[in-house]
Homo-oligomer: A and B are copies of this chain.
């Protein structure tokens, strides 16, 4: 980091690059040299955006719907999202509480600005999605990392929350399903956590970006259990709209006005064509496609988790959602970065070291994404098998 630059804010010292980017660059080099690389590093579905959405985008272009929309997004889309919560979760959400954002990144940025001040502490799990930690550093606040472990499904227990909470703590940010671990907060535990945050007067923010991509019967939204919670969600994963940059947040009634002001300032408006296109995500036609894809992800998960266990990787009993397996490699290596580098350089399999997601046992873990075809996953497993010989 070029810390001696005259104008660089000292906060930038803590904002870390994603190690997965180095993996991706090296993979691209190997491909340029003619190698076939198996990509298990990327947090992006391999499927193209579903046709009904693409067609809706074309229609929006033809209608010239290319102007700014209102800052929190078009009313139809906010209503469609609110309806979806009624349908999937049985909760009534006023569409005014739904703000469309430029990706979940935009949503996280807005909520961070609204809820966090310099010197505040925010409780996070370690491991977690690295952006979250960095957003908190950007606000000159302190990520208060709770080491979570495989035995507790990589989610915090109430005892751990009590232990890591201090007088600076202002909020608790969790993810269910979680990136990188693929685990969820089951209803009972999530309810206990809601009660704990209310009792401790902390705000509760839940990243539900991987909702829809769950392989369990019951995945509650935090809004079923706690109407004072803040939610971040996205059209990128289940809805397969990564490059469109569209997400949403849901805030309690009392925060709607401030959230709107922040949306005006931070974004002016979410991308217009993407919003009109996303309306098609709520059609039956699109739903059928999404559910087929979820089935494909589930089959890949079944295959990859079984294969990795057989090879001696240690993983959660149950990858309940998202498209990641967070696997312990201590049987093979003491250094996940070196492990990943070797696997890529000598066997052309790209995976992400645990060090991208925190510090706790990060050298013992790697993240493998099943965002590639079954055929490629089989090739990947074959190569990993060879690498471990």
Give A contacts to B, CB under 8 Å.
1-2, 5-12, 15-18, 21, 44, 48-49, 54, 57-58, 61, 64-69, 71, 102-103, 105-106, 109, 113-118, 120, 130-131, 134-135, 138-140, 170-171, 201, 203, 241-245, 254-255, 257-258, 260-262, 264-274
Contacts and interface: CB of A to CB of B under 8 A. Distances in A.
Contacts of A265: 15, 105, 130-131, 134-135, 138
Contacts of A109: 109, 266
A267 B245 contact: yes
A244 B66 contact: yes
A366 to B, nearest CB: 20
B262 A15 contact: yes
B2 A267 contact: no
A106 B109 CA distance: 11
Given A18-B264, A264-B18, A243 B68 contact: yes
B48 A54 contact: no
5 closest A-B pairs by beta carbon, nearest first, are A243-B272, A7-B203, A49-B66, A9-B117, A17-B261
Given A12-B114, A117-B10, A131-B265, A57 B245 contact: no
Given A69-B243, A265-B131, A274-B271, A171 B7 contact: yes
Contact of A2 (B69, B103, B113, B257): B257
17 contacts: A1-B258, A7-B115, A7-B171, A9-B117, A11-B117, A17-B260, A17-B264, A54-B61, A57-B61, A58-B61, A65-B243, A103-B267, A103-B268, A106-B267, A245-B269, A245-B271, A271-B271
Contacts of A258: 1-2, 5, 8, 12, 15
Given A64-B48, A64-B49, A113-B138, A243 B269 contact: yes
Contact of A105 (B8, B48, B171, B266): B266
Given A66-B242, A243-B65, A273-B244, A114 B18 contact: no
Contact of A6 (B10, B114, B131, B201): B201
Given A264-B17, A268-B103, A271-B243, A48 B66 contact: yes
A102 B106 contact: yes
Interface centre among A67, A134, A244, A267 (most CB of B within 10 A): A67
Nearest to A69: B243
Contacts of A58: 58, 61
Contact of A264 (B21, B113, B261): B21
A244 B268 contact: no
A114 B245 contact: no
Given A8-B115, A58-B58, A105 B138 contact: no
A243 B273 contact: yes
Given A102-B102, A103-B268, A273-B273, 12 more contacts: A1-B258, A8-B115, A9-B117, A12-B114, A16-B261, A48-B66, A54-B64, A57-B61, A58-B61, A61-B61, A66-B243, A243-B269
Nearest to A243: B272
Nearest to A138: B113
Contact of A140 (B10, B71, B118, B243): B118
Contacts of A254: 2, 5
A374 to B, nearest CB: 20
Given A61-B58, A140-B117, A254-B2, A242 B201 contact: no
